[in-house]
Structure 1
Amino acid sequence: MYLISYMKTLLFSIIIIFSQSIAFGQRTEDASADERLAAQYMREENFEKAVVLYEELFEKNPTPVIYNNYLQCLIELNRYRDAERLVEKQIQDNPGRARFQVDMAYVFDKSGDNRKFRRHTQALIDNLPAHPPSVNDLANAFLFRDYEDLALETYYRGRKMLGNTSAFHLQIASIYSRKGLIDEMMTEYIDLVGIDDSYLENVQGLLQDALNNDPDFQKSDALRRVLLRRSQENPANTLFAEMLLWLSLQQKDFAMALRQARVLDRRMQQDGQLIFEVAKLSASNNVFDISRQAFQLVLEMGDLKPYYLEARIGLLNVNYKQATQGYAVDYDLLREVEKDYVKAIDEMGVRAQTVTLIRNLANLKAFYLDNNRQASELLQTVIDLPNVSNRVKAECRIELADILLLKGDMWDAHLLYAQVDKTFRDDPLAHEARFKNARLSYYMGEFKWAKAQLDVLKAATSRLIANDAMALSILIQDNLEEDGTSEPLQMFARAEMHTFMNKFDKAVKVLDSLQQEFPNHQIQDNVLMAKAKIMIRTGDYHKADDLLIKVTELYGRGLFASQALFERARLYEDVFEENDEAMSLYQKLITEYPGSLYTITARNRFRYLRGDLIN
């Protein structure tokens, strides 16, 4: 009997709870619908309807969003007394909260009562406690209502009360940025690191973010002015000179960076370290003249200095890069570079420190001097060295596979790529080997398998490999037929393989046939760009310019439009020496393709040609 009674009671309780849950859910759903409707009325500026809903919503659930929208509706309807009462209630319920005190000032401001507004805000600032969180709360409350000057006044008073000149620099800099006062923003940042250099890394990160969004160079120019002023005022403190060097490197103004590095290196007795770093960075950005000058300066310090050997190797590698990565391949310079490499290796010996020289010499012999046998022997020599890391040996195996591909030995090249991929699984080196194997399959017309590998590599940790994989995957996807075949794509892949092998005549012949046989195929923008690159490599610059014009005119919204504009601008600057036309092309790129990868470099080149920068 007791059990039956208990079961009835339990069943009744469950029914009651279930009914309450349904009712609560219904109320919540109704409230959400009302809130969405009220927000819609606000967007439509129908404040009369919105305020009715928000008043009901606020009574049931006074969330910050509902409160703020309710207050705004009252102000828009000129119901200032009601707005004051609403804020007064919030102040009573939340004593000490600066947010609602500032909201009262906001109501006074919107009602046009400037006297009350000034008295109220001044009282808030005057009565501010010497307590950093309280200073931040009041300043943030002012910022929420867009009272930036009052927020600044709050921080300056807080700094004075705390007796701490390094307080609130980052917050004040942020407000100056918001107001567009760039010089003042930069002054706050630099003053902070001048007082406490432990903030240097944090400030450099913030400055880098600011400089990345600096289309007219106002921020970088302001930062340079502030740093120069501080450096002149504090000549004994090298921090500001170091930051000037950092800024020049961020702007890729390597000539200025080298001058600064020479002065700093001497003052700080760095034995050429700073100059060597500039040399390496300028080389990696293909600014060969500055890189060569920097390496030479390190060499002139003498062979007992710590960076002498690295500088000698670096100088040889710069000469090699300039001969192979410039415009037309300079075979006379390459033969001179070959002699310099051989001489250096004979003098320094075959050892771990000269591996880079040996590898570059092998690449030079294979890809430019048609000596695959000696190239392979050089790489095998490195692989056989006992004191060379497994990673370096694997890199040599990838290069050896490249040479096998150059010779047309596809299968052995595939095996070597696969070996490195298997040995260094999930390592960036494995990703490089896998990409090259996928590219080999693409050359051979195995498009589906190649694309499957490339799609995996799009998530590679190496940005360069991921980008290359994505580009090749998109090319295959856009031009592959449903049955997995595509004659135009096969022809283009064959042309790219000839280009990889430096067989430019064969590549152009295939590309010409592709244009004739499939004139309306969507791959034609790739064809034009590929031919333009070959013309640049072979020194036919006017033909290259004509092809690049076609890319921009026929495919102005395509993937290659901004790149074609950039290549044209560089031709007019470096080859044709027509700076006015180069400036016009750089400006067109900056204006029409602001999101392009080439835009930052284009801006720098435009400013240099205009005379704003020293190259």
Structure 2
Amino acid sequence: MKKIIAIIAFLISFAAFAQNEQLAQNYFEKGEFEKALVIYQDFEKKQPNNTFFTQKVVACYQQLQQYANAGKLLAEKLERTRQPLLYVEIGYNYQLQKDMANAEKNYKLALTSVTENPSNVYSIATTFEQKTLLDQAIKAYDIAVKANQSLNFDYQVALLQGQLGNVDLMIDKLLSYSYNNPQNLVVVQNQLSRFMNEESEENPAGSPEKSFNASLRKALLLNVQKTQDIFWNQFLSWFFVQQHDYGKAFIQEKAIFKRDPDMFFNIVSLAKLAVEENEDATAREILDFILNNTQDPELLMQSNYYMLSMDIKTAPEKDYPAIKQRIDTLLAQYGVSPYSLELQLLKADFDAFYRKDTKAGIETLNNTLKLQLNKYQEAQVKMKLSDILLLDEKFNQAIIYYAQIEEDLKNDAVGHEASLKMAKSSYFKGDFEWAQKQFKVLKSNSSQLIANDALELYLLIIDNTVEDSTQTALKKFAKADFKLYQNKKAEALAGFKDILANDKTQSIQDVTLLRIGKIYEGMGQYPQALEYYQKVIDNYKEGIYVDEALFFSAEIYNKKLSDPEKAKPLYEKVLFGHEDSIYFIEARKQYRLLRGDTNS
């Protein structure tokens, strides 16, 4: 019982101590230095050998311009503890009084103590850095390394050089540190990523010649040329991936593979990234390389799957029989099993959404459901089956399957996706009241894509119900949207144009223009798409769809019409006028590529 009481008393005492320390810090941060000083003095008396509280008391004295009291306390502490970091504190106290002669004298004493005992560098360099005496901190590290060659402070010195604005020195030091300490490569890359991201966020329209990214790229290229070590090829590949320049990353990965075939899976990972980022041309190039350089059945099947997925997106209808044959050949080769699940899903999707043979798609999936699948694989199959049932206008059956997935995977991303699709099914069906309730919940989803889709449709229903209680325009819009889901573009286009021509509900006009633009874009009719996007930009400047119209227009000019000069100002408008847009990051990436930031 005595032990328990003692422990409780200690915990209470510790909690009170921590609370008082936080209170003192709060006073200091608010500029109430007298109150902070009283608390810190109490701590300092109770722990006279704790330099942390000595420094806090001194800082309070200095803020109150009581330099004599600060000097006296520091002198007493130095006399008693002989801790060399106190030379820095004493020197800084003189510096605050504009007495640079005595300040430099004490800084020199601190640096001398590092020469005598290199281990003193840790506390002394840190104290210099706290006082923003960065040159002295660098000098302390240099002295320590000269005195003890086994020490390495490249990482610390690099960050200090960065604070001084010496970007090239910082990069050289960080790269040198990572090369000599490969176990800390991730730490260095995380630090470099932070600088790369900060530059793009704080200075999106800055000069590429002076950019951090250009300097880093140049330094990496020099190391690649100088040493021929694949470490630098890997580092340069990482850099290009951060820049979303997968083509240049692939060049480096091929060079690595030639010298070390065991690194092949880096190329596979790069292919997946290119596919996910819809960089189809680069993805095809990488996938071709994989297909020609491996005999691994799983990699071959996966690469063929990605190739087929990209081909299906762009193939004219006359090519559908050949694509069907390719899918059937692969399934015959690899067999119908959980192992080839992605191919079976692709076959069902292709049959239903492209060949318009929903019966074949449903049959494929019903056979797949007979396999020994885990719950996530079963959910994938049911999701695709629901999508096809919805395509076939079997709304209630689709909703039942979506609900099963939602129930089986309640707190999972797949379950949330099923919830969104179930809400969309109700919307397509014209059950707006039920759909609105579901969208209201989903607009707070942790997934940004789900939340944005749900919010857009929630606002669409709310706005158009307020303006038109009969929901006439909304019903027409949902019907046209469903035709779009069914990949019946001509019918969808006619439906949306009918709304523009015959329905004067204002709240539905801008999103209708956007939908028409998107359909024309999907049909490759870019001038018409740009015309409708421009109507959104010109007539609905304060609307919620203008960021999409700007971004989609920029993408057409940039990637379809090869007119970067027209694309650049549109990306720029997204950057500076729509920071909360889901297209902000991609707009920034494309803008910076057009600006030439990745050129050395």
Q: TM-score, structure 2 length as denominator?
A: 0.81
Q: Tell me how far apart the structure 1 counterparts of residues 445 and 35 of structure 2 sit (CA, whole Å).
A: 54
Larger radius of gyration: 1
Deviates more, 1:583-592 or 1:546-555: 583-592
Q: Which residue of 2 aligns with 1:89?
A: 73
Q: Which residue of 1 aligns with 2:63?
A: 72
Q: Tell me how far apart the structure 2 counterparts of residues 69 and 488 of structure 1 sit (CA, whole Å).
A: 68
Q: Which residue of 1 aligns with 2:8?
A: none
Q: Which residue of 2 aligns with 1:12?
A: none
Which residue, 206, 216, 241 being the options, matches 1:223?
A: 216
Q: Tell me how far apart the structure 2 counterparts of residues 497 and 593 of structure 1 sit (CA, whole Å).
A: 29
Deviates more, 1:403-412 or 1:171-180: 171-180
Q: Tell me how far apart the structure 2 counterparts of residues 540 and 582 of structure 1 sit (CA, whole Å).
A: 17
Deviates more, 1:305-314 or 1:572-581: 305-314
Q: Tell me how far apart the structure 2 counterparts of residues 557 and 177 of structure 1 sit (CA, whole Å).
A: 41
Per-residue CA deviation, residues 192-246 of structure 1 (Å, 9 max, x unaligned), is 22112111222222222222223256233222223233333432x4222111111
Per-residue CA deviation, residues 38-69 of structure 1 (Å, 9 max, x unaligned), is 998x7xxxxxxxxxx85687457648778635
Which residue, 86, 109, 116 being the options, matches 1:123?
A: 109
| Contact 2:34–2:60 (Cα < 8 Å) also in 1 | no
Q: Which residue of 2 aligns with 1:340?
A: 326
Which residue, 244, 247, 253 being the options, matches 1:252?
A: 244
In the alignment, residue 401 of structure 2 is paired with which amino acid?
Answer: L
Q: Which residue of 2 aligns with 1:270?
A: 262
Which residue, 477, 480, 483 being the options, matches 1:495?
A: 480
Q: Tell me how far apart the structure 2 counterparts of residues 283 and 587 of structure 1 sit (CA, whole Å).
A: 26
- C-alpha distance 59-354 of structure 1, shift in aligned 2 (>3 A): closer
- C-alpha distance 476-96 of structure 1, shift in aligned 2 (>3 A): farther
- C-alpha distance 300-494 of structure 1, shift in aligned 2 (>3 A): same
Q: Which residue of 1 aligns with 2:353?
A: 367
Q: Which residue of 2 aligns with 1:79?
A: none
| Contact 1:529–1:560 (Cα < 8 Å) also in 2 | yes
Secondary structure at the counterpart of residue 132 of structure 2: coil
Q: Tell me how far apart the structure 1 counterparts of residues 545 and 119 of structure 2 sit (CA, whole Å).
A: 52
Q: Which residue of 2 aligns with 1:283?
A: 275
| Contact 2:113–2:120 (Cα < 8 Å) also in 1 | no
Q: Which residue of 2 aligns with 1:150?
A: 136
Matches within 5 A, 1:355-504: 355-386=341-372, 388-457=373-442, 460=445, 462-476=447-461, 481=466, 486-504=471-489
Per-residue CA deviation, residues 312-337 of structure 1 (Å, 9 max, x unaligned), is 333222322444xxxxxx43455543
Secondary structure at the counterpart of residue 585 of structure 1: helix
Q: Tell me how far apart the structure 2 counterparts of residues 132 and 596 of structure 1 sit (CA, whole Å).
A: 52
| Contact 2:74–2:89 (Cα < 8 Å) also in 1 | no
| Contact 1:404–1:412 (Cα < 8 Å) also in 2 | yes
- C-alpha distance 209-452 of structure 1, shift in aligned 2 (>3 A): farther
Q: Tell me how far apart the structure 1 counterparts of residues 439 and 74 of structure 2 sit (CA, whole Å).
A: 59
| Contact 2:214–2:598 (Cα < 8 Å) also in 1 | no
Deviation of the 1:428 alpha carbon: 2.2
| Contact 2:432–2:461 (Cα < 8 Å) also in 1 | yes
Q: Which residue of 2 aligns with 1:547?
A: 532
Q: Tell me how far apart the structure 1 counterparts of residues 241 and 569 of structure 2 sit (CA, whole Å).
A: 26
In the alignment, residue 217 of structure 2 is paired with which amino acid?
Answer: R
Deviation of the 1:132 alpha carbon: 8.0
Deviation of the 1:285 alpha carbon: 1.0
Question: What is the aligned length?
Answer: 555
Deviation of the 1:402 alpha carbon: 0.8
Deviates more, 1:360-369 or 1:225-234: 225-234
In the alignment, residue 157 of structure 1 is paired with which amino acid?
Answer: I
| Contact 1:448–1:484 (Cα < 8 Å) also in 2 | no
Instruction: List gaps (5 residues or longer) in structure 1.
Output: 1-27, 43-52, 75-81, 324-329
In the alignment, residue 237 of structure 2 is paired with which amino acid?
Answer: L
Q: Tell me how far apart the structure 1 counterparts of residues 236 and 561 of structure 2 sit (CA, whole Å).
A: 34
Secondary structure at the counterpart of residue 127 of structure 1: helix
Q: Which residue of 2 aligns with 1:239?
A: 231
Q: Tell me how far apart the structure 2 counterparts of residues 332 and 451 of structure 1 sit (CA, whole Å).
A: 41
Q: Tell me how far apart the structure 2 counterparts of residues 335 and 570 of structure 1 sit (CA, whole Å).
A: 31
Secondary structure at the counterpart of residue 386 of structure 2: helix
Deviates more, 1:427-436 or 1:201-210: 201-210
Deviation of the 1:414 alpha carbon: 0.7
Q: Tell me how far apart the structure 2 counterparts of residues 170 and 212 of structure 1 sit (CA, whole Å).
A: 19
Which residue, 556, 560, 578 being the options, matches 1:571?
A: 556
In the alignment, residue 281 of structure 2 is paired with which amino acid?
Answer: D
Q: Which residue of 1 aligns with 2:340?
A: 354
Secondary structure at the counterpart of residue 230 of structure 1: helix
Secondary structure at the counterpart of residue 262 of structure 2: coil
Per-residue CA deviation, residues 502-531 of structure 1 (Å, 9 max, x unaligned), is 233443344345445664634433232222
| Contact 1:262–1:274 (Cα < 8 Å) also in 2 | no
- C-alpha distance 413-304 of structure 1, shift in aligned 2 (>3 A): closer
Q: Which residue of 2 aligns with 1:308?
A: 300
Deviation of the 1:466 alpha carbon: 4.3
User: Which 4+ stretches in 1 moved above 6 angstroms?
Assistant: 63-66, 129-133, 482-485
| Contact 2:74–2:90 (Cα < 8 Å) also in 1 | no
| Contact 1:130–1:162 (Cα < 8 Å) also in 2 | no
- C-alpha distance 372-266 of structure 1, shift in aligned 2 (>3 A): same
Alignment pair present for 1:193 and 2:178:
yes
| Contact 2:558–2:564 (Cα < 8 Å) also in 1 | yes
Q: Which residue of 1 aligns with 2:157?
A: 172
Deviation of the 1:472 alpha carbon: 3.9
- C-alpha distance 558-265 of structure 1, shift in aligned 2 (>3 A): farther
Matches within 5 A, 1:316-335: 316-323=308-315, 330-335=316-321
| More RCO (CA 8 Å, sep 6+) | 2
Q: Which residue of 2 aligns with 1:24?
A: none
Q: Which residue of 2 aligns with 1:3?
A: none
| Contact 1:271–1:305 (Cα < 8 Å) also in 2 | no
Per-residue CA deviation, residues 157-194 of structure 1 (Å, 9 max, x unaligned), is 2334443343x333323222322322222222222221
| Contact 2:386–2:402 (Cα < 8 Å) also in 1 | yes
- C-alpha distance 139-290 of structure 1, shift in aligned 2 (>3 A): same
Q: Tell me how far apart the structure 1 counterparts of residues 581 and 121 of structure 2 sit (CA, whole Å).
A: 42
Deviation of the 1:605 alpha carbon: 3.5
| Contact 1:84–1:104 (Cα < 8 Å) also in 2 | no
Per-residue CA deviation, residues 257-296 of structure 1 (Å, 9 max, x unaligned), is 1111111112111374333222221111111111111111
Per-residue CA deviation, residues 386-410 of structure 1 (Å, 9 max, x unaligned), is 4x44422321111111111111111
Secondary structure at the counterpart of residue 164 of structure 1: coil
Q: TM-score, structure 1 length as denominator?
A: 0.79
Secondary structure at the counterpart of residue 426 of structure 1: coil
Secondary structure at the counterpart of residue 270 of structure 1: helix
Deviates more, 1:348-357 or 1:197-206: 348-357
